[in-house]
Amino acid sequence: MPIDCICQHNSDGDLIPLRIRLKDDEGLYQAYTIHECRQLEMTPGQLTPEKVDPSVYDLVYECHANVSGRDRMFRLYYNLRSTTPLWRINKTFVK
């Protein structure tokens, strides 16, 4: 599912997602601040728990954010070769 993401580059040039925004069931935008994030080392053919097979050009992040008073873990995906930069989130976060 495509989402809005605010990120920054660190001094090494790595992307760091900071905040995400997505629409809720009523079509209103909800924003969440990421308080913990790490980039996962994935290889093609290695499926994530959501059954996503990242390509060589996909960055995969495991993130945590506070949602309705609870810590929620989710994965963000970003493809470096996409012609239109697109952040995606695993569908389990939205449920």
Nearest C-alpha neighbor of 7 from the set 67, 89, 78: 78
- More reliable by pLDDT, 25 or 95: 25
pLDDT of residue 8: 94
Query: For residue range 42-71, what is the model confidence (pLDDT) as tens digits?
Result: 777 777 766 676 666 788 899 999 988 999
- More reliable by pLDDT, 55 or 24: 24
Nearest C-alpha neighbor of 35 from the set 12, 59, 19: 19
Record the tokens describing residue 67, joined without a space: 């949602």
Whether pLDDT at 7 is above 90? yes
Record the tokens describing residue 92, joined without a space: 């389990």
Range of the domain at 36: 2-93
Q: Which residues contact 84 (CB under 8 A, 6 or more apart)?
A: none
What's 90's DSSP letter?
-
The count of structural domains within the chain is 1
Helix (H, G, I), strand (E, B), or coil: what is residue 43? Answer: coil
Distance CA 77, CA 86 (A): 8
**Model's pTM, two decimal places?**
0.82
Nearest C-alpha neighbor of 5 from the set 52, 16, 55, 54: 16
